[in-house]
Amino acid sequence: MINMLCMECGAKAYKGLTTDVTDLGSCLVIVRNVPCYKCTECNEVIYTADVVKQLEKIVEQAKKVMQEISIIDYRKVA
């Protein structure tokens, strides 16, 4: 089912899952299984506002433990 158009190229974007990587300089926060919309043409990944807020919370929590690499499953913490 088509739910959105890509903001970059205007092609169709479909619901899917992706892996988000945030580089904090001293560590990487990798969040797997993040809900998103994926463009069928340019592969742009689009997040809803709710997902962005949740990702920000996850990264803030990961900063507190400050490991070199943190791998988190979105579905287990969202």
pLDDT tens by residue, 2-41 = 578 998 999 999 999 999 999 988 888 999 999 999 999 9
CATH number, residue 38: 3.10.20.860
51-77 pLDDT, tens digit per residue, is 999 999 999 988 888 777 788 889 888
pLDDT at 9: 94
Could you tell me the residue range of the domain that residue 7 belongs to? 2-77
Q: Check if the beta carbon of residue 5 is closer than 8 Å to that of residue 39.
A: no
78: its two tokens: 């969202």
Give the total number of structural domains in the chain: 1
Per the DSSP assignment, residues forming a β-bridge with 11 are none
Q: Check if the beta carbon of residue 40 is closer than 8 Å to that of residue 2.
A: no
Q: Check if the beta carbon of residue 54 is closer than 8 Å to that of residue 72.
A: no
> Does residue 1 register a pLDDT over 70?
no
pLDDT at 63: 84
